[in-house]
Chains A and B, each alone.
Chain A
Amino acid sequence: MWGRFAAGALLGIPLAAALTGLIAWGWPGRWQDVLVPSLQLFFPLWTAIACAAVLFADTRSAWLRMLSLNIAAAGLLTLVRLGGAL
C-alpha cells in the first residue's frame, strides 16, 4: 500500500504540475489571465492523484503507470504550448 502511495505522492508532483499547466495553457485566451486559479488547483490535483494511486494493483504497476501518465501529460502540455505559439 505504501509503495503505491509513494508512487502517487512523488510522481504526483510533476503530474499535477503538468495538469495545472494544461489548464492554464488550454484555457481559451491567454494563460496569464487564469494563472492564479490554475495554480490554486495544483494541491487538489496532487491530493487526488496521491490518494487514487492506492487503487493501482501493485507497487510496480503504480510506478509504471504514474510514469506513463507523466510522460503523456508532459507531451500533451508541449503540444498545447506549441499549438498556442503557432
Chain B
Amino acid sequence: MKSSTLRHFSTLHTWTGLIAGFALFVAFYCGAITVFHEDLHHWQSPEHRHTAQAVTTDELPALIDGMVRKHPQAAADFFVQLPSASAPSPVAYWKKEDGEWTHAPLRVAAGLDDEAPHSGLADLINSLHFSLGLPVAGIYVMGIVSMMYGVALVSGVLIHLPLLLRDLFALRPGRNLKRFWQDAHNAIGVCSLPFHIVFAISGALLCLSAVLIALMNVPVFGGELPLEIRRATRVSTGADAAGEASPMQSPAALVTAARAAAPEFEPKWLRYYQYGDRAAQVEVRGTSPRALAVSGGVALEAATGRVLNVQTGGRNDANHAAYAGLYALHFGSYGGAIVQGLYGLLGLAGAFLFFSGNLLWIEARRKRQQVAQPTHLVRMAQATIGVCVGCCAAVSAAFVATQIAAAMPGADRELIEKSACFGVFFAALAWSFVRPPSRAAVELLLLTAAFTAAIPLSHGALTGDHLLHSALLGDWVLLGIDLCALLMAAGYVWLAALTRKRALDGDPNSVWAAPTDGTQPMRQAI
C-alpha cells in the first residue's frame, strides 16, 4: 500500500473512531450488561422473588380472556409469556389506545392484581445500550455511529495490515507506553474482529432498518418492500378479523400442536392476532437449541389449531434463518451461559478498545519536552474520563438506586433509577472538566468502585438476599450478579491505583502526570 493511502486510512480511522468512540463505549459497556437482561429482571424485582403468585398453564385462558375484556383494543395484536420456572408470573405485551406498546404481569393486565410500581433497571441499561437513553432520535444517532464504527474497523485493519501478523501477539511493556497501549489496542481489535464486524453490521441494521426500508422501497423494490419484509421476518403476517366470534384453542393445545410440528422447539411466548375472532392467528414463539437461528416460531389458526407456517431453527427458509441468525449473533443467545459470558467479556474488551483509542490519540500528540500540554489534549483527556468512567459510575449508581427504591413503598422506582443514572453521569462529566485529568481519573474511578461495591451491599442489606444467602439457596443468578459487582469494584480500585502511580511516578510531560506548581516535589503535590 502507498504511504499516502496508508495516511488517508489512518486519518479516517482516527476521526471516525474518535467521534463514534464515546457513544460506542457506552453501547458496549451497557451491552455487556444487557446480555444478562433476563437475569437482571430477577435481581431488580426483590418483591417478586419469594411472594410472586405462580400462574399455571390451565389458568391462562381465563387470564387472557380477562385481559382482552379489560383492554379490548389489545385483541388485534398482543404477546403472552408462557409460565416457566424462570418466569412463574408471566408477562403480557399489548398496544395501548395510542398505539404504544406497554407491558405488565398477566394477572395485572387481567385486573386480578393491582398495578404496583416496578423497577425499570434492565430496560434503562438496554435503552442506554441502543439509544444512549436519548428519546426518539437516539436510535438513529446510534445507527450512524454504527456506520462510522464499520468505517473505523475497515480502515483500522487496513492500516494495521502490513504489521498484522508480526505484531499480533506482541505486547511490549516498558518505557515506551505508547507502544504498549498501541499493542493492546491492536491485539484486542484484531482478536475480537469477527465480533466487531457482527456488531457493526447488526447494530446498523437494528437501528436503521426502518430508514433502509423507506429508502429502498419504491426505487428498488417497486413499493412491495414493507409487505415482503413482514412475510420474510414474521411467521404469521397477522390476520384480518372475520367479524365472527369464536372460542379459541387453549394455549396448552396450541403449544402441543406447535411441538408436534417442530419437536425440538421450546415454546416461550404466544403472539395473538385478532384474539376471539374466527380468523384469529397465533404465533407460538420460542427457541430451538442447537441452532444459530435460535429463535423462531410456529403459526397456527387460533380457533382450530391448524398449523399454517413453521419457521424454527433448522426448519426455516433463507430469510427467516438469516434474520434470526443475525439477531442471535447480536444478542449472544445461541450458545447458553458460556456464550453469554463470552459476550459479556468481549463487550467489556470492546469498551476498552474505544477507551484506549482515545488515549492513543492523546499520546500521539503529547509534547514530550514540556510539562504544560496543549489545551485540546487536556480537554480530550477530561472528556474521555468524564464520559467513560462517568458511564461506569452512572450504571453502578442505577443498580444501587434500584435496590434502595425497591425498599421504598409506593416510590416511583423507574424515576429514581433514571435520576440516579443520569444525575451521576452529568455530575461526573462536570467534575472531570473542572479537575486536572489525572486527578479526575483517580477520583471518578474510586467513586465508581464505591458505587459498584455498594451494589451487593445494598442488595444484601435491603432484601436479606446477601451473597451467602444466595449461595446457600443455590440462586446462582443473584450470586453471579453480586459477585461480578464485587469483582468489578476491585478492578476499579486497581485501575485507580495504577492511574495514581502513573500520575506520581510516570513521565511528568503528559496530561496524565500529577499537576505541580513547579516548586514542590511531585509526591507532595497530590
CB neighbors of A among B306-351 (8 A): 317-320, 322-323, 326
Closest B residue, CB atoms, query A30: B228
Q: Is A67 located at the chain interface by the 8 A CB criterion?
A: no
Contacts of A36 in B (CB 8 A): 229, 232-233, 318-320, 322-323
B495 within 8 A of A: no
Asked if B205 is an interface residue, CB under 8 A from chain A, the answer is: yes
Q: Which residues of the other chain, B, contact A9 by a CB distance below 8 angstroms?
A: 151
Q: Nearest chain B CB to A86's CB is how many angstroms away?
A: 15
Given A1-B8, A48-B154, A51-B151, residue A33 in contact with residue B201 (CB < 8 A): no
Contact of B154 among A32, A34, A47 (CB under 8 A): A47
> Which bracket fits the contact residues of A?
20 to 34
Q: A18-B220, A36-B323 are in contact. Are A51 and B200 (CB under 8 A)?
A: no
Q: How far is the CB of B198 from chain A (nearest CB, A)?
A: 11
Shortest distance in angstroms between B130's beta carbon and chain A's nearest beta carbon?
A: 16
Task: Find chain B residues with CB under 8 A from A5 CB.
Answer: 12
Which A residues are CB-close (under 8 A) to B8? 1, 54
Shortest A73–chain B CB gap in Å is 11
Cβ 8 A contact of B212, one of A31, A34, A42, A54: A42
A64 to B220, CA, bound (A): 23
B residues less than 8 Å from A18 (CB atoms) = 220
Q: What separation, in Å, do the CA atoms of A74 and B442 have in the docked complex? A: 56
- Interface SS of B by simple majority: helix
CB within 8 Å for A17 and B216 given contacts A34-B318, A44-B201, A47-B200: yes
Given known A43-B205, A44-B201, A55-B5, contact A32–B228 (CB-CB < 8 A): yes
B221 within 8 A of A: yes
Which of A20, A37, A50 makes the CB contact (< 8 A) with B322? A37
Measured between beta carbons, the chain A residues less than 8 angstroms from B12 are: 1, 5, 51, 54
Chain B: number of interface residues, binned into ranges: 35 or more
* A43–B319 touching, CB < 8 Å: no
- Closest A residue to B4 using CB positions: A1
Q: Which chain B residues (141-174) contact chain A, with CB distance < 8 Å?
A: 146-147, 150-151, 153-155, 158
Q: Are B155 and A35 in contact (CB under 8 A)?
A: no
Q: Are A40 and B216 in contact (CB under 8 A)?
A: no
Residue in contact with A40 in the complex, picked from B151, B231, B322, CB distance below 8 Å: B322
| Min CB–CB distance A7 → chain B (angstroms) | 13
* Chain A residue with the shortest CB-CB distance to B324: A36
State whether the Cβ of B62 lies closer than 8 Å to any Cβ in chain A: no
Interface centre among B229, B233, B319 (most CB of A within 10 A): B319
**In the bound complex, CA of A17 to CA of B231 (Å):** 21
> A45 to B239, alpha carbons, bound, how many Å?
36
Q: Which of A20, A43, A46, A48 has the largest number of chain B CB atoms within 10 A? A: A43
List the 10 closest pairs (A to B, CB-CB), nearest first: A21-B220, A47-B150, A36-B319, A37-B322, A36-B322, A43-B204, A54-B8, A35-B232, A51-B154, A36-B323
Q: A34-B318, A35-B228 are in contact. List 13 more A-B contacts (CB 8 A).
A: A21-B221, A31-B221, A33-B318, A35-B319, A36-B320, A42-B205, A43-B147, A43-B150, A43-B200, A51-B151, A51-B154, A51-B155, A54-B12
**Chain B positions near chain A (C-beta within 8 angstroms):** 5, 8-9, 11-12, 146-147, 150-151, 153-155, 158, 200-201, 204-205, 209, 212, 215-216, 219-222, 228-229, 231-233, 317-320, 322-323, 326
Binding site for B on A (CB under 8 A): 1, 5, 9, 13, 17-18, 20-21, 24, 31-37, 39-40, 42-44, 46-48, 50-51, 54-55, 77, 81
Give me 27 A-to-B residue pairs in the complex whose CB atoms sit less than 8 angstroms apart, sorted by A's number. A1-B8, A1-B11, A1-B12, A5-B12, A9-B151, A17-B216, A17-B220, A20-B220, A21-B220, A21-B221, A24-B220, A32-B228, A33-B317, A33-B319, A34-B318, A35-B229, A36-B229, A36-B318, A39-B205, A39-B212, A40-B205, A43-B200, A43-B204, A43-B205, A46-B150, A47-B200, A50-B151
